[in-house]
Every structure is written in C-alpha cells, then in structure tokens.
Structure 1
Amino acid sequence: MADSVGDSLDRVLEGAFTRPVPKSAQAQMKYLVKQLKGTRAVAQLLGVSQRTVERYLKGRLKRPRSRLRGRMEREVRRRWQPQIRAKARQRAESTDGLVVSTRARFGFTAAPGTTDDARIRDITQALPPLWAGRLFAAREQGATEQQLQRIAAEGLAETYFRADNTRAHGLGVEFTDVERIEMEL
C-alpha cells in the first residue's frame, strides 16, 4: 500500500513526542475521557456505548476488537502532547523546514513542444519553512491527499528540479504513484 503525505506529516509531529503514547486500552480510554471530559463524549467519538467505555475504564474489558482499537489509538495520538506537537510544527514552519524522502513517479512539462515522460525517482530533498507551513496548514484545513501531493510536488519542483528558481524556469512537475514518502524535521 502506498504511503500518504498526510500520514507522513502526522508521523513527523509524533516524532517530537517526549513521552510514550498510552498503550493499554484502559490507559487510552482514561486519557480520552479526561480530554473529552466525560464518558458520553468518548462513546460518541468511538461509536460505542457509554457502558462499554465505563467497562474499559474499570478494566473489565481489556482487548478491544481491531476496529475499536484502531479508532482509540488514532484519537489518542491526535490529542497526545498538543504543546510539543505545536512547537515542532512551529519550528518546521519558521526555521527548520522538512526533509522529504520519496519514491514516486515524476513527470515534467516545460516550454511548448518539450516534455519529459514520467519515471520513478528516489528523491531526498530539504523543503524550506514556507513549504512546511503550506503542508501543515493544508493538512489542518482538511486538504485531500491529492492536494497535499500537489503542494509537495510544487515544493520539490522549486527546490529540487528548478534549484530555487535558478534554472528550468516554467518547468511543471507532476508527482504521482507515490510508493513511499517520509518526512523528518
């Protein structure tokens, strides 16, 4: 299965965590109840009954089914250490930027009459803070995976293919068939 830009952005911020995310179902449920201030809100979020949430809190239920386990882990990770997550994002947007390592199909369009057929390339490139900010902002606003890929492609086009607009002016870059994408701070 192909990796996604959105998941990679989430992993970048999770890499900044200073404490481990709760692992047991009981600990995850306790955390969610504390964050959402009640069992009813957690039950609605996870799509289970309020009584089920209470059973996990008391330790009577210990092993959630795979769908519920996935939802619990995803919701806990989304809310875990928000200040640390915000600092990492701010650092990427203001000074550090992101390093993108990808294996994807890149194709080009340039001046009329010239083209280059798309081919699979392995690229590792630092994206400046401007592009990190655009990616995080788009992710926060609910951008689709295609929109995130388009922003990443524009950033790679500018920094890698056009060398910060010192060459290949007007070169359009298509970024498709993403096999792997990883980002780091």
Structure 2
Amino acid sequence: MNTSVAHALDIADARHWTRKPPTRPATRLRHLLRTQTAAVLAPKLFAYPETLTRWANGDTSDLTTAQAAYIEYEIFRTWQLQERRRAHQRILDYDGCVTAQLHARFSYTTTSGEFHDPRLRRLTEDLPNLHARRLFDARHRDAEEDELRRILADGIGEAYFFRALPLDQQQAAVTISDLHFIQLHY
C-alpha cells in the first residue's frame, strides 16, 4: 500500500517512460552513481563508498533487501527526468486529467476552528489544473512530502468538498490527517 504522494507520482510517471529502467541491482547502482557521487549515496544505503563501487562492478552478494529496495526507489525517482517533465507539460497544456485515488481521513480548518473527520474516506477525484500544475512543480524541485500532501489536499478540497459551494463560502482549508493509500493516474 503506497502512502507517499511523491512515490505515487513516480509510479504514475513510469507509464510515460520511453525506455525501461535497468533491472539488475549492479546496473541500477551504476546509473545512480552517474547522477550522484558514492560519498553522497553511501550514507543513504548505510554502506561505504567502496562497497558501492564493488556492487556497481557486479559483486552484490552482501546487498540486503532493504538496500536493494532503496536502490529501486531511487531509480523510480530519477529515471528519465526530462521525459517526465515533457509528459507533465503535455498533460497540463492539453487539459489532461490528473486523477487521484485515495483512502484517507481529513481535517478542516474554518474561521470557527479546526474539525477532524473520523471517517476513512475512499475518494477518486480529478484534480483541478492549477493544483495539478502546483503538484508537478513541487515534485520537480523535490519538495518534501508535507508540501505535496498540502497541495493534494487543496486540490481534493476544491474538487470534492467545496465544488457545490459558492466561492464566498469556500473558506475552509482541507488537510489530509491520515493517508492510508494514494494512487495517481494521468
């Protein structure tokens, strides 16, 4: 179950890749070492830079499953960045649809206070174009998960919670208080 907006964006971006990423850990690591140095990548993998070099040369006998999963996550995060940007721009230019499917609890902040909704809602909504643009821009600059959730909550608030209200009554702010599942399609 995916609970990260950033990872959900990466998975949705994978549908727009023109080439498949490498599948073997050694080739994945070689790709990552082209984009960042071993000294930067090694602490993230809890390994020494020399170990990364050995793994990149093919000796992955002591590579743990957690390290392999992190390498796979980094490949999904960094693979074909230019192609992703072009796909995002095409989606936004031609009024493409960014659909968010989520299972979450929400909180609302109004002028009279903050309210927590205890219901676990299962929603599938198309994000307004403005919020989709903000979400893509934040992802391109590697924004933190909290900022991505705020942008997503604003989009869901406008698309679902406030769609029937006149603009002068849309004073509440929606936040995602508990995210159980997120999946994006575009």
TM-score, normalised via structure 1 length: 0.77
CA displacement 1:142-171 (0-9 Å, x = unmatched): 443333222212111112222275478225
Describe the superposition over 1:100-155 as per-residue Cα deviations: whole angstroms up to 9, x where unpaired.
11111134455759x78542221111012211111122334444333322221211
User: In the TM superposition, what are the counterparts of 1:164-183 in structure 2 within 5 Å?
Assistant: 166=166, 169-172=169-172, 173-183=174-184
- Inter-partner Cα distance in structure 2 for 1:55 and 1:18: 30
Q: Which amino acid aligns with 1:68?
A: Q
- Tell me the amino acid that sits aligned with residue 65 of structure 1: T
- Whether 2:46 is the aligned partner of 1:45: answer no
Q: Classify 1:16/1:49 alpha carbon distance in 2 versus 1 (closer, same or farther; 3 Å).
A: same
Alpha-carbon distance in structure 2 between the residues aligned to 1:29 and 1:116: 44
Amino acid across the alignment from 1:42? A
Instruction: Quote the RMSD (CA, aligned, Å).
Output: 3.1
Map 1:75-94 onto structure 2 (within 5 A). Answer: 75-94=74-93
Shift of 1:63: 5.7
Aligned mates of 1:165, 1:183 — CA distance in 2: 26
What SS is found at the alignment partner of 2:18?
A: coil
2:3, 2:179 within 8 Å by CA — same for their partners in 1? yes
Corresponding residue of 2:148: 148
Per mean C-alpha deviation after superposition, the further-off stretch among 80-89 and 54-63 is 54-63
Report what 1:105 is aligned to: 105
The verdict on how the C-alpha distance between 1:19 and 1:157 changes in structure 2, with shifts beyond 3 A counting, is same
Q: What residue in structure 2 maps to residue 30 of structure 1?
A: 30
Q: Percent identity?
A: 31
Query: Any unmatched runs of 5+ in structure 1?
Result: none
In structure 2, the residue corresponding to 1:123 is in which secondary structure? strand
**1:143 and 1:35 mapped to 2: Cα distance?**
19
Q: Which residue of 2 aligns with 1:6?
A: 6
Contact 2:5 2:148 in 1 (8 A): yes
Helix, strand or coil at the partner of 2:20: coil
In structure 1, the residue matched to 2:125 is 125
Determine the structure 2 residue equivalent to 1:96. 96
Q: How many residues align?
A: 180
The one-letter code matched in structure 2 to 1:59 is: G
> Amino acid of the residue matched to residue 74 of structure 1?
Y
Residues 105 and 120 in structure 2, CA contact (< 8 A), matched pair in contact too:
yes
Structure 2 unaligned segments of length 5 or more: list them.
Answer: none
TM norm structure 2: 0.77
CA contact (8 A) 2:102 2:181 kept: yes
2:160 corresponds to 1:160: yes
Give, in whole Å, the separation in 2 of the partners of 1:4 and 1:99: 15
String of CA shifts for 1:59-101, please: whole Å, max 9, x gaps.
3335622343233223333321122211122233332141011
